[in-house]
Structure 1
Amino acid sequence: MNKKIIVYLLGWIMNMEAIFMLLPCVVAVIYRESSGIWFLAVMAVCGTTGLLLTRRKPDNMVFFAKEGFVSVALSWIVLSFFGSLPFYLSREIPRFEDAMFEVISGFTTTGASILTDVEGLSHCMLIWRSFTHWIGGMGVLVFILAILPLAGGYNMYLMKAESPGPSVGKLVPKVKSTAKILYGIYFFMTVVEVILLLVGGMPLFDSLATSFGTAGTGGFGIKNNSIAFYDSYYLQGVITVFMILFGINFNVYYLFLIHHPKDALRCEEARAYLGIIGVTVLFITLNIRGSFTSIFAAFHHAAFQVASIITTTGFSTVDFDKWPEFSKGLLVVLMFIGACAGSTGGGLKVSRVIILLKSVKKELFSLLHPRSVKIIKIESKPVEHQVIRSINTFLVAYLVIFVLSTVIVSLDNFDFTTNFTAVAATFNNIGPGLGAVGPTGNFSGFSAMSKWVMMFDMLAGRLEVFPMLLLFAPSTWKK
């Protein structure tokens, strides 16, 4: 293993985190908040350590899958540790495991919170909390790839480990150019949302924090009642649309960008994703019609919550835990499906679900016609056997971790709905669940052990399981 390149990349992670903390420092100055001093302190530590680790390039800049996956997993742990320190040192979140839970939830774009009074945080802490969503949404190592020249095509291993979905492809021949395009699209869409929210009368601070949460499909609100605070169909409608947009594979936007709209519209995953949203919104609207004054109000809130759950954003405009069981059941299903591969959303990913369903269809067909040869295709292109094998392995690992996590969390003696949806919400990077962790609840009641389990789940869910598991494999660290 090329340990020197791993240390070098960790140094760049610390440099980037120091730069990212400039935003809460500026906010602290604007609002004259003394807690901003803790960001300066952590910036100094991160920046100094990062410069020491990156002052000299390793002689061997070549790395492979093992180094790529380990680098990504360790980077997210380091990022979360230092990102939690301002919360803990300022005592705005007095328990270390709670500060870590909150920041890991932010960077992994989960949005699950231990805070009982969000509005009690200072402005600089609130903006950092929301900004972690934006940083983690596209991935900090993808950002580094856009600015840092690494060895040849080897840096593709970093993108594969950090980008959500069953497979990652390059938009253009160079990975560095791909990373720049992805972040360019990401930044542009975020700015557009900020402008549209400002047009609707939302204050600048609120617009930035909300857009960070929407872009990263994270869901940290800066109000105790989340987006319900903004009693405006326009503002909630804008957020609904952008949650859906950020849940679409960014390759689709690139195809529109290079004037290939027909190829973009042929994207099978995007069509299935939008179809699932449309059908679910229709069913839930009809099911909750009696709870609202008009069919439009029912449709509005159904669309918002469906978009929020399937994209794993986690914002809320109503307490959907009080909806009929049918509607809640549909939302739980969406928790597992998730958004598209190559988006900022979590969950299993629509592409995986499509391939798994086609695999089932193929097996049924083979039972009826044993001698036939049927190939699984996506958008008329055959799916490689390696991808199918990877999806099957992912599903097994996913189920094992999910079951074990649910069993451990159950030791806290909450009801099954709370335990099951708490794990589902953290592992799928959603945020709110049902029961005690519903849209009006939080995760503060869980024990420290359960919180550490769910922290692992959040990281494993965001990094597609394997990078985190490789940290515990003895063969990973052998020469």
Structure 2
Amino acid sequence: MQYRNITRILGMLVMILSSTMLPPGLVSLIYRDGGGVAFMTAFLLCLSAGFFAWYPNRAQKGDLRAREGFLIVVLFWTVLASFSSVPLMLTETPNLSITDAFFESFSGLTTTGATILTQIDGLPHAVLWYRQQLQWIGGMGIIVLAVAVLPMLGVGGMQLYRAETPGPVKDSKMTPRIADTAKHLWYIYLSLTIACALCYWLAGMSGFDAISHSFSTIAIGGFSTHDASMGYFDSTLINMICVFFLVIAGVNFALHYTAWASKSFRTYFFDPEFKTFISIQVVLTLICFFSLLIYGVESNFEQAFDDAIFQAVSISTTAGFATTNFSQWPAMLPILLIFASFIGGCAGSTGGGMKVMRVVLLYLQGIRELSRLIHPKAIITIKLGQKALPDKVVDAIWGFFSAYAAIFIICMVLLMASGIDEITAFTAVAACLNNLGPGLGEVAANFASINDFSKWVLIIAMLFGRLEIFTLLVLFMPAFWRN
């Protein structure tokens, strides 16, 4: 294991991270509402820490193996989120404990969107901007940004990309060179963010709110600059813009690139994962719409459709924005939407959950097993579109699902052991492992009331969810550390 080389890379990345604390300082100067000193202090601390990790090891260069790639990704996310909590600990408003600062930081960077903050409307603009910015950085994965730069510094990026990129199939690249791949991903990501911000602004948001919410929308994060989330704006147009961009961000970014390169939208309609993803959104919206009318929650058709489509898309894509308190809906709907978050977005998107691709393959595997009961001697292959998938891919999906379920159960039991009720424990773990944000019970609005032990358990759940279980779990294997 190339520990000194890993330390050198982490040092460089932490120095890059320190630069992200300058924009909140600038925002503080513009709005003059305090908070700038904390971010400048945090900038100097992070820059210094990164420099002292990099400088003694600056000559330690070498080709990274897969093991080093996995370790760097896990260390980077933990180290990055830890350093990102520094300005939150230094600010006077809000006055956060170490646990709360870490929780907010990890929630932002992993695009979970769970928050311990209350009275968000009264926070300094610098803090509001920083929270949104954290989600934007984490949404695509700062490692993908780093691999576009690190090759120029003598660091190969393919191992990092394969370990960090979400989705069940990680061997394919959109372009021959990994740096080009990362750049194209970020071009798409940045373009969507700018387009989203412009739409929000034209729809009536202030410039600050438009940019801030575009960060968390394209990242499918769910942080807002207001306690009422998207409901603060009370605008059907803004809600529909949010839904539109959440759907776009929930689609595989490789598919966006392919459509852009071929200059044809037909690419989307030939993709089985995309068709399933859209079908899920339509079905959930219709269930919510008719349920709201039948149960008498809404009598106005337009308002019922607005609430239904917004909450269905927001929760199922794991964004977690809200226009209404969906936890007060008829009991079936909140639980249904929480379960929908287990599916999440498409592979290669900024969404959380298990990913649509994996759920589709699990379904196809179930159908194959039923067919084998009827035709025991038949050789049945699983096809995705017109392509037959090797059994090792399906086996990996089952392994992932088993690990996902095990992590979920362990975290839920730990929360219940700390004194949290069953509904709160179940939905809190679901919200954090799926990188969703809001839950039910005590965590319907925020996570401020739960105990510190549970917050640390949920921080670990966020990491497992963001790194898709195996990237983090593999570090617990003794064989990983053997030479």
Equivalence for 2:90: 89
Check the 8 A contact 1:206/1:222 in 2, yes or no. Answer: yes
Check the 8 A contact 1:153/1:175 in 2, yes or no. Answer: no
In the aligned structure 1, how far is the partner of 2:22 from the partner of 2:155?
32
Please tell me whether residue 48 in structure 1 is matched to residue 48 in structure 2.
Answer: yes
* Residue from 191, 196, 215 that aligns with 2:199: 196
Closer/same/farther in 2, CA of residues 415 and 43 from structure 1, 3 Å limit: same
**Structure 1 residue 303, shift from structure 2 partner:** 0.7
Please tell me whether residue 306 in structure 1 is matched to residue 312 in structure 2.
Answer: yes
In the aligned structure 2, how far is the partner of 1:341 from the partner of 1:58?
37
Instruction: Number of aligned residue pairs: give it.
Output: 477
Check the 8 A contact 1:64/1:154 in 2, yes or no. Answer: no
Aligned partner of residue 151 in structure 2, secondary structure: coil
Equivalence for 2:159: 157
Mapping 1:266-305, distance limit 5 Å: 266-289=270-293, 290-305=296-311
* Residue from 103, 106, 124 that aligns with 2:105: 103
CA deviations on 1:417-468 (whole Å, 9 max, x unpaired) are 1110010000100000112211xx2111211111100000001100001222
Equivalence for 1:223: 226
Check the 8 A contact 1:160/1:167 in 2, yes or no. Answer: no
CA deviations on 1:375-434 (whole Å, 9 max, x unpaired) are 111121122333222211111111111101101101243331111001000010000011
**Structure 1 residue 32, shift from structure 2 partner:** 1.9
Equivalence for 2:18: 18
Check the 8 A contact 2:62/2:155 in 1, yes or no. Answer: no
| Alignment-mate amino acid for residue 199 of structure 2 | L
Equivalence for 1:465: 469
Check the 8 A contact 2:382/2:389 in 1, yes or no. Answer: yes
Aligned partner of residue 130 in structure 1, secondary structure: helix
Greater relative contact order (CA < 8 Å, ≥ 6 in sequence) = 1
Closer/same/farther in 2, CA of residues 69 and 150 from structure 1, 3 Å limit: farther
Mapping 1:366-377, distance limit 5 Å: 366-377=372-383
More displaced 10-residue stretch of structure 1: 359-368 or 114-123: 114-123
Instruction: Please report the TM-score for the alignment, with normalisation by the length of structure 1.
Output: 0.96
**Structure 1 residue 471, shift from structure 2 partner:** 3.4
| Alignment-mate amino acid for residue 198 of structure 1 | W
Equivalence for 2:458: 454
Check the 8 A contact 2:5/2:60 in 1, yes or no. Answer: no
In the aligned structure 2, how far is the partner of 1:311 from the partner of 1:382?
28
**Structure 1 residue 333, shift from structure 2 partner:** 1.9
- What root-mean-square deviation, in Å, do the aligned CA atoms of Structure 1 and Structure 2 show? 1.7
CA deviations on 1:75-118 (whole Å, 9 max, x unpaired) are 01111111111111224242100000001000000000111221
Equivalence for 1:411: 417
* Residue from 322, 325, 343 that aligns with 2:349: 343
**Structure 1 residue 57, shift from structure 2 partner:** 4.5
Please tell me whether residue 182 in structure 1 is matched to residue 151 in structure 2.
Answer: no
More displaced 10-residue stretch of structure 1: 107-116 or 47-56: 47-56
Aligned partner of residue 26 in structure 1, secondary structure: helix
Equivalence for 1:112: 114
Equivalence for 1:206: 209
Aligned partner of residue 418 in structure 1, secondary structure: helix
Please tell me whether residue 478 in structure 1 is matched to residue 479 in structure 2.
Answer: no
CA deviations on 1:105-152 (whole Å, 9 max, x unpaired) are 000000001112212321101110111100000000100111221799
In the aligned structure 1, how far is the partner of 2:38 from the partner of 2:246?
32
Closer/same/farther in 2, CA of residues 125 and 153 from structure 1, 3 Å limit: closer
Gaps of 5+ in 1: none
In the aligned structure 1, how far is the partner of 2:58 from the partner of 2:393?
34
**Structure 1 residue 300, shift from structure 2 partner:** 1.1
CA deviations on 1:286-309 (whole Å, 9 max, x unpaired) are 000222242121111111111111
Percent pairwise identity: 38
Closer/same/farther in 2, CA of residues 230 and 282 from structure 1, 3 Å limit: same
Check the 8 A contact 2:317/2:351 in 1, yes or no. Answer: yes
More displaced 10-residue stretch of structure 1: 68-77 or 284-293: 284-293
**Structure 1 residue 247, shift from structure 2 partner:** 0.4
Gaps of 5+ in 2: none
